[in-house]
Amino acid sequence: MMTPEFSRRDLIGAIAAVPLAPLLPTPAEAQPIPTRKWSVPYGAAVRGGSLTEDAEYRATLAAYCDQLVSEGGLKWFDLRPTRDRFDFSEGDRYLAFARANGMKFRGHTLVWHGALPPWAEAIDNAVVAEREMIRHIETVVGHYRGKIANWDVVNEAIADDPQTAPGLRDSLWLRRIGPRYVALALRAAAQADPGAKLIINDYDIEFVGDRYKRKREAFLRLIRSLRADNVPLHGVGLQGHLSDNQIDQAGLTAFASEIKAMGLEFMVTELDVVDNKMPGPPEMRDMVAAARVHDFLGAIFAAIRPSAVLTWGITDKYSWVPIYFKRGDGLPNRPLPFDVQYKPKPMMQVIEHFCR
Ligand code: XIL
């Protein structure tokens, strides 16, 4: 039974609008060849428990990914149980797995409004906030100096609906330090590891709609101001948590063109498809999800070759989506390139089409 939000016509329109047919595997090609020969590096977010317990998970990551990013483990909540204790155990474990498998490893994330431990949430003045933020960056980037060569320094700095300039998200960091916290964080990271690539990362930049257009414009304003002030910044990350929202292909291509014109790298950092409002039947949903990914990557590649495309996990078996975006029909979410049995889905073919 089709979900009410999606008529069959919509679905056929969504699929027909995207030249997926040549991308979808013929029976002979149904299984992508496990290889890491990517022209645009592909990677995935890794999570701790699964890495230890699931051999097929480890094998799939090792077969397809030439880089990994920490889903958890390198957020304040994981790293800093108390103000004076840094716990690098989880991050060190991910890094060891990546290095043992010849993969690069990127760090996520040094400054974010989320995943703050209670002691940090309780910081109530500018001096302590600035001191703790800089100490965090110096200690964490210093610990991984020369080993993690790419950091999401500031994550989700832009407000969800930036009505007026500068349009920064209301966060502990903005409230306590002010808008300059972004530049401060980037400068501290550059000082802690001059060899690391420094990225600012955000979401909901790619969709059709006034709110998303305003968010794109606010993100560009921030990036331009950082560049104008010679703040160390190497690239921009679009998380890419797609959904049933249409991709604003012209708007996204224009955004990516501006990033390229500024001489910055462009990364897709957390690609998946939040499919809770998409049609029910898995095979149809997989096609619509693949169509969204095709629209998204197509709009980016029309302007710039990303320095990497990473999905936020690799198998539906381990994803944040069912925790935060359960489906009303009770069917399992299908957000990632491989299903729960590690079978590749049309989404993986689309990623291969662009990144091989
Ligand atoms: C998510 C993780 O996947 C969840 O396991 C955790 O409970 C919450 O954070 N954007 C981000 C990521 O930048 O850090 C978030 O990760 C997903 C949204």
pLDDT band for 51, please (50, 70, 90 cuts): confident
Residue of 214 and 17 predicted with greater confidence:
214
The three-state secondary structure class of 157 is coil
CB 88 within 8 A of CB 135: no
Ranges of H-type helices in 271-339: 282-301, 321-324
At 116-143, the pLDDT tens digits run 999 999 999 999 999 999 999 999 999 9
Please state, for a pLDDT cut of 90, what percent of the chain lies above it: 86
**75 Cα nearest atom in ligand 1:** 14
pLDDT at 5: 43
Range with lowest mean pLDDT among 34-38, 44-48, 59-63, 198-202: 34-38
Which of 251, 244, 240, 241 has its CA nearest to residue 212?
A: 251
pLDDT at 165: 81
10 Å Cβ neighbour count for 17?
12
CB 182 within 8 A of CB 236: no
Q: What is the residue with the minimal CA distance to atom 1 of ligand 1?
A: 320
Q: Provide the CB-side half-sphere exposure for 304 (13 A, CA).
A: 25
Q: What is the residue with the minimal CA distance to atom 3 of ligand 1?
A: 320
pLDDT at 24: 53
What spacing in Å lies between the alpha carbon of 65 and ligand 1's midpoint?
A: 20
Please tell me whether the peptide bond between 166 and the residue prior to it is cis, using omega within 30 degrees of 0.
Answer: yes
Ligand 1 close to Cβ of residue 272 (< 6 A):
no
pLDDT at 36: 75
Ligand 1 close to Cβ of residue 239 (< 6 A):
yes
State yes or no: pLDDT of 64 exceeds 90: yes
At 143-164, the pLDDT tens digits run 999 999 999 999 999 999 998 8
What spacing in Å lies between the alpha carbon of 247 and ligand 1's midpoint?
A: 22
What spacing in Å lies between the alpha carbon of 29 and ligand 1's midpoint?
A: 33
Range with lowest mean pLDDT among 9-13, 84-88, 299-303, 310-314: 9-13
At 332-351, the pLDDT tens digits run 999 999 999 999 999 999 99
Q: Is 270 among the catalytic positions? A: yes
State yes or no: pLDDT of 308 exceeds 80: yes
What does the DSSP 8-state code read for residue 19? T
pLDDT at 25: 47
pTM for the whole thing? 0.92
Q: Is 156 among the catalytic positions? A: yes
